[in-house]
Structure 1
């Protein structure tokens, strides 16, 4: 449809709408929330405003009276709404959330917060042209599962060591996505040696690779990773810390870093070191918050992009 431009605007917007409603319904189903995704505008309006008439709801939502009436009938039959008398005019009937409707909306709240995070990240592009922006939106939304991303953020996360073929692929994909996003012209043989053969790297350097994973219905999603390499003299090196875009801001990088610090301390390491780029402000802030300090680089770096060397001295309380 994209080749016909604005002539298919309505169809393309409907495709996006239908897809997002279906994705939200998938999330509701997984979380056992007994409402239709199409009910949300009315339920949210009543949650915020309290009792309203059908006409008032239609006006507030800019929908037709018949369309709202049809949805209201369904929600009444499913005990999500109840009718009440207008306290100011006993001849007028209003609608409000039933106890079941209120309970359902309370369960929806954490889902909405995570959905907002996912969608805002998908929409974090700029364009002065509406049709170009629409193409970007379609590429972001329609080529990946919004439901899976939201459920990743809602699921419990645990740390595991890299071991399976699926883990290897995920480790490669996470880091290659990061490299291609930030330094596409500076991916070198040292990056590829680790990313393409992580178990060989682990064996050669006595290293460790940890993954942050969520599990749903017997399947794992890898959401973050970190590699750790011990060096002679009680020095440990942190490499390849990466978190999936849709899971940024959840504290996954901090959990991986905390685990690495704990293992380094248990192994009697005296210093942890890492290389990063000064332009990566979020990464620099994370490391500084955890006690890493910028130092002169004590060696020739293997990475052209690395212009910042940091160390953390591990004491008794590390």
Structure 2
């Protein structure tokens, strides 16, 4: 439809609307929320106001009176709303949330909060042309599953070692991060490591962990981190490096990056490493805050970086767990 421009505006908006309602209903179903996604505007309005007439609901939501009347009649039959008489005018009926409706809105609140975060991330872009903005929005909303993204924020996340089934996600997540922040500075080394984690990391003595949400089918991977030893022997302290820390944009703000980094740090402690290093970029303020918080200290690069985008080198001295536990 995009090829016909503004003449298909109504159809494109309806397609978006229908898709979003289907996705939200799927989320409600998976989270055992016993209401229809189409009820939300009326439910939220009555949750805030207490009680209103059908006409008042229609006016405040800018909907037709017949449409609201039809919807609220259905909601009354399902026990979501209840009808009462206006104390000041017995000829006037008011609608309010039933006990069941109040309970449903209480249960759905955490879902709505995470849905709001995901949708805000999808709509955070700038464009001076509405049709261009609509195309961007369609790309964000229609590609991938809103339900999966919301569930990634709602359900428990496990940190596990990389398995074969996770390798594509390891590549896709990190490549998406590179293309967003450093589209002109993706090195051949990046592609090699990301496409061959078994050979380039695991068989070299390293580890890769992924943050996953367990599903009935394929695990939903929302974050990654890698660790590699940097050498050392009987007379030299063991040093390691952490890299490829990435979290899906829709899942950020839930502590996933911290859990991944903590997993790598704990592994290094347990394996007797004395120091961890990493490279980052000064423009990545959130990443720098995370590393500072976890005891990494900026130092001079010991050798030129392989990556043009890396302008910050950091180290963290490790105290062996046996020593920490005795303090």
Same fold (TM over 0.5): yes
Deviation at 1:84, TM superposition (A): 1.4
Question: What's the Cα RMSD here?
Answer: 1.3
Quick one: distance in 1 between partners of 2:147 and 2:87? 41
Counterpart for residue 293 of structure 2 = 289
1:5 is matched with which residue? 5
The whole-number CA distance in structure 2 between the counterparts of 1:203 and 1:133 is 43
Question: Residues 211, 81 of structure 1: CA spacing in aligned structure 2 closer, same or farther, 3 A cutoff?
Answer: same
Question: Equivalent residues in 2 for 1:72-151 (5 A)?
Answer: 72-151=72-151
What corresponds to 1:314 in structure 2?
Answer: 318
Structure 2 counterpart SS, 1:46: helix
What is residue 230 of structure 1 aligned with on the other side?
229
User: Is residue 275 from structure 1 mapped to residue 274 from structure 2 by the alignment?
Assistant: no
| Displacement after TM superposition at 1:205 (Å) | 2.1
In structure 1, how many angstroms separate the alpha carbons of the residues matched to 2:143 and 2:188? Answer: 30
Distance in structure 1 (CA, Å) of the matches to 2:289 and 2:141: 30
- Distance across 1 between alignment mates of 2:193 and 2:144: 27
Scaled by the length of structure 1, the TM-score of the pair is 0.96
Per-residue Cα deviation, 1:216-271 (whole angstroms, up to 9, x for no partner): 23431000000001222221110100001111111100000111111111112211
Q: Is the 8 A contact 2:202 2:208 kept in 1?
A: no
Provide the C-alpha distance between the structure 1 equivalents of 2:205 and 2:263, rounded to a whole number of angstroms. 17
Instruction: Report the CA distance shift for 1:143/1:203 in structure 2 as closer, same or farther (over 3 A).
Output: closer
Name the stretch that deviates more: 265-274 or 36-45.
265-274
Cα separation, 2, equivalents of 1:155 and 1:297: 40
Pairwise CA distance, 1:33: 1.0
Query: For residues 62 and 317 of structure 1, do their structure 2 counterparts lie closer, same or farther at Cα, with a shift above 3 Å needed?
Result: farther
Q: TM-score, normalised by structure 2?
A: 0.94
Most deviating of 170-179 and 212-221: 212-221
Q: Could you say what secondary structure the match of 1:216 adopts?
A: coil
Counterparts in 2 of 1:317 and 1:71: CA distance versus 1, 3 Å: farther
Structure-1 separation of matches of 2:23 and 2:243: 35
Q: Distance in 1 between matches of 2:168 and 2:3?
A: 34
Kindly state the Cα deviation for residue 178 of structure 1 after the two structures are TM-superposed: 1.1
> In structure 2, how many angstroms separate the alpha carbons of the residues matched to 1:63 and 1:179?
45
Query: Do structure 1's residue 303 and structure 2's residue 307 form an aligned pair?
Result: yes
Deviations 1:174-201 (A, max 9, x none): 1111111222222223212211110112
Instruction: Report the equivalent of 1:201.
Output: 200
Pair 1:208–1:44, CA change in 2 (3 A): same
**Are 2:51 and 2:95, in contact at CA under 8 Å, matched by a contact in 1?**
yes
Paired position in structure 2 for 1:160: 160
Q: Distance in 2 between matches of 1:317 and 1:99?
A: 54
How far apart are 1:317 and its partner, in Å? 4.6
Question: How is 1:45-60 mapped onto 2 (pairs within 5 angstroms)?
Answer: 45-60=45-60
Residues 1:7 and 1:203: Cα distance change in structure 2 (over 3 Å): closer
Mapped partners of 1:203, 1:128: distance in 2: 47
Structure 1: give runs of 5+ residues left out of the alignment.
Answer: none
Tell me how far apart the structure 1 counterparts of residues 215 and 145 of structure 2 sit (CA, whole Å): 14
